Chains A and B, each alone.
Chain A
Amino acid sequence: MSTVEERLLPSAEPVRLIDEHGAAHPHTSYQLPSAETLTDGYAQLVKGRRLNDQASALVRQGRLAVYPSSHGQEACQVAATMVIEERDWLFPTYRDTVSIVSRGVDPIETLTLLRGDWHSGYDPHERNVAPQSTPLATQLLHAVGVAHAARLKGEDTVVMALVGDGGTSEGDFHEALNFAAVWQAPVVFFIQNNEYAISVPLAKQTAAPSLAHKGIGYGVPGERADGNDLAGLLAVLGTAVERARAGEGPQLVEAHTYRVQAHTNADDATRYRDDAEVTPWLERDPIKRLDAYLSGAGLLDDARRAAALAEADRVAEYTRVGLMEDVQPDPAELFQHLYTVQTPQLREQAAFLADELAREEA
């Protein structure tokens, strides 16, 4: 096998540095992150889990229209943001609320989209987080554009672009990999393979040996990691980011994880999978695993655990209270943001609606 092909091929098994019992497994190519990184990561996982569960509860209370939970995928969510710097960019999908919040965006602003007040509730420039993309894989091309522009400007920005397993079948996924490779754009394409695209299992999505293999045809190196092992994810994604920053071009990373809950609250997962399939995945939970490792290594005790939980509770409470507030989006805003200079047609329509509302009130 040529060296080029070797460089592009993912490892035979997903990279795992800590197994599901919390035991460390040394790897020939990747280092275990520092104790400090892992304890910080642990706190973020706990916070992410709490946010996922809080948001799901808010759906049941009618406060959010919908919530695509990343429960069980928190290690991917947290790792994606932990490995990038402030000047880098994150391109999230609808499922990546936890990633956005761990990047530092206000959870209430993040959930504005799902509450139904506006399409993107946060200012993308504040933390370099693109608006959440609902059309699948389209955001990957924007990510390549941002990365390419950064290179043209002489900046060493890296872009972390998230996509699901289903999204890898879309044409834009392929166009993005190809563009990034030809331009050597500093983009890390991070696939959270959670085994399902709504109801469609991976086997019906692709015949490729793994999603990480999809980089080969474009000249993009692929790697895969255990998506429930924060340590392995940080090592693999961190390496990809370093390489991209050093000018070595894009990389594709596939995380093997599982969507333990339904696609959204509107979905009935029992129609397409058995509990017997789900249960073993609960055992591979990313938080339990890291907890076991850290406890064994003497890095986590009840006091630290309680501190992480208290912080998670604080964020969840802040989110809950914020979303319990009744907000009245301003209908005038409907016409305000389409164009930098409003068209005469929109001015007319805004006046019409204002008049109609005034008459309603009278």
Chain B
Amino acid sequence: MTHVKLSMAQALNQALRDAMRADDTVLMFGEDVGALGGVFRVTDGLTAEFGESRCFDTPLAESGIVGTAIGMAMNGMRPVVEMQFDAFGYPAFEQVVSHVAKMRNRTRGKITLPMVIRMPYAGGIGGVEHHCDSSEAYYAHTPGLTVVAPSTVADAYWLMRRAIEFPDPVIFLEPKKLYWAKEEIDLGTPEPGIGKAVVRREGADATLIAYGPTVPVALEAAEAAAAEGRSVGVVDLRSIVPFDDETVCAAVRSTGRAVVVAEASGFASVSSEIVARVTERCFHSLAAPIRRVTGFDIPFPPPHLERHQLPSVDRILDAVDDLQWEDS
């Protein structure tokens, strides 16, 4: 039976489980990933099924987790490690930037690092300080890393499977606020691989470009726009690096108008990059400057203020309205 109803956390768990069953060099480790199953339960039951040598708790040290994963990948393993929260990945940042990203290049391809760094990511859960960072730009800016973020339950499963099979290191961003939403999915039908964006909704008038946690918001906004008589499409990047220029540009060319929707602060961000590259490639198809709906350039706010930071349906609709429609 390949049709199952799962939450994103359960789909990730299933993906890890299936990957570990398929390949006994796949290891899972990090903080509290063993008996507890991770603070979001993504690793629930893995130690029970695969034993302490396949899924284990480490000392509390992020650089240590990533640094030792590098060594294990050098020596024939496929480690999947968990940074407990996005903002606790920073102690490991040196290992990520100086070694994870560069090892293959500096050794002229003699050492590849098939490893996945998983990170509960972004806001929308009322988390306290240091629990809701959108850190994708740091990683996307670092050549040598592959950066992905799922937005659906099915994609969470398939992107995780692909990330674990991937020959190079993958930064896997798991949108926290989507961990619990359940969906009926078909595990027999793979989603596209890493490096491919997908059109989640077709549209004729404007294109919303989103990834991870903002995809459901964008879809909601597109639905609302339809009610107002505008046909708005939604492209889900899925893979931030590599970036799928083709799918994104095809969508933008067909509508001539675009809004990028991202939770991260807008300045020097992935959203700025998207605007730049789409403008460079689709300038003559554009009927209006590309707009962005992003977080403010502030540290992620405390829970009672976080709704002001997060892209909302209204902000997206306002941005769409702003795309210089001659008829309005």
Binding site for B on A (CB under 8 A): 118-120, 123-125, 130-131, 135, 138, 140-150, 152-153, 171-172, 175-176, 178-179, 182, 333, 336-341, 343-345
What CA separation (Å) do A330 and B111 show in the bound complex?
A: 20
Closest CB of chain A to B77's CB: distance in Å? Answer: 5
Closest CB of chain A to B201's CB: distance in Å? Answer: 24
> B260 near A: Cβ within 8 Å?
no
- Residues of chain B with a CB closer than 8 A to A118's CB: 106, 108
Residue pair B59, A178 in contact (C-beta under 8 Å): yes
- Residues of chain B with a CB closer than 8 A to A333's CB: 108
CB-contact partner of B105 in A140, A145, A337, A341, under 8 A: A337
Residue pair A149, B104 in contact (C-beta under 8 Å): no
CB-contact partner of A336 in B73, B76, B94, B109, under 8 A: B109
Residue pair B112, A340 in contact (C-beta under 8 Å): yes
Question: What per-residue 1/0 map shows which CB atoms of B87-111 lie under 8 Å from chain A?
Answer: 0000100110011001111111111
Question: Contacts A143-B71, A146-B72, A146-B74: A175 and B59 contacting too (C-beta < 8 A)?
Answer: yes
The main secondary structure of chain A at its interface with chain B is: helix
Residue pair A149, B67 in contact (C-beta under 8 Å): no
- Residues of chain A with a CB closer than 8 A to B189's CB: none
Question: Contacts A135-B98, A152-B53, A344-B245: A142 and B74 contacting too (C-beta < 8 A)?
Answer: yes
Closest CB of chain A to B100's CB: distance in Å? Answer: 10
What CA separation (Å) do A120 and B168 show in the bound complex?
A: 18
What CA separation (Å) do A176 and B104 show in the bound complex?
A: 22
Residue pair A149, B76 in contact (C-beta under 8 Å): yes
What CA separation (Å) do A230 and B53 show in the bound complex?
A: 39
Residue pair B242, A344 in contact (C-beta under 8 Å): yes
Q: Which 7 A-B pairs have the closest CB atoms?
A: A145-B71, A141-B67, A119-B106, A175-B64, A149-B75, A343-B242, A145-B68
Question: Contacts A130-B74, A172-B63, A175-B63: A142 and B68 contacting too (C-beta < 8 A)?
Answer: yes
B146 nearest in chain A by CB position = A339
Closest CB of chain B to A109's CB: distance in Å? Answer: 11
- Residues of chain B with a CB closer than 8 A to A178's CB: 59, 61, 64
Residue pair B104, A339 in contact (C-beta under 8 Å): yes
- Residues of chain A with a CB closer than 8 A to B107's CB: 119-120, 123-124, 131, 337
- Residues of chain A with a CB closer than 8 A to B167's CB: 340-341
Closest CB of chain B to A297's CB: distance in Å? Answer: 41
Residue pair B75, A141 in contact (C-beta under 8 Å): no
> B69 near A: Cβ within 8 Å?
yes
CB-contact partner of A141 in B64, B168, B195, under 8 A: B64
Residue pair B71, A141 in contact (C-beta under 8 Å): yes
- Residues of chain B with a CB closer than 8 A to A125's CB: 110-111
Residue pair B242, A345 in contact (C-beta under 8 Å): yes
**How many B residues, CB 8 Å from partner?**
47
Closest CB of chain A to B5's CB: distance in Å? Answer: 34
Residue pair A142, B195 in contact (C-beta under 8 Å): no
Residue pair A141, B106 in contact (C-beta under 8 Å): no
- Residues of chain B with a CB closer than 8 A to A145's CB: 67-75, 79
A339 nearest in chain B by CB position = B168
- Residues of chain A with a CB closer than 8 A to B233's CB: none
Interface residues of B in 203-226 (CB under 8 A from A): none
What are 15 A-B contacts with C-beta separation under 8 Å?
A: A119-B106, A130-B74, A138-B94, A138-B99, A141-B70, A145-B72, A146-B71, A149-B75, A152-B53, A175-B63, A179-B61, A339-B104, A340-B109, A344-B195, A344-B243
What CA separation (Å) do A303 and B66 show in the bound complex?
A: 52
Closest CB of chain B to A321's CB: distance in Å? Answer: 23
CB-contact partner of B63 in A150, A171, A343, under 8 A: A171
Closest CB of chain A to B102's CB: distance in Å? Answer: 7
> B251 near A: Cβ within 8 Å?
no
What CA separation (Å) do A123 and B195 show in the bound complex?
A: 29
Residue pair B59, A179 in contact (C-beta under 8 Å): yes
Residue pair A148, B71 in contact (C-beta under 8 Å): yes
Question: Contacts A337-B105, A339-B144, A343-B242: A148 and B98 contacting too (C-beta < 8 A)?
Answer: no
What CA separation (Å) do A345 and B146 show in the bound complex?
A: 12
Closest CB of chain B to A251's CB: distance in Å? Answer: 18
Closest CB of chain B to A54's CB: distance in Å? Answer: 24
What CA separation (Å) do A118 and B92 show in the bound complex?
A: 25
> B241 near A: Cβ within 8 Å?
yes
> B58 near A: Cβ within 8 Å?
yes
Q: Which of A118, A125, A333, A338 has the most C-beta atoms of chain B within 10 angstroms of its own C-beta? A: A338
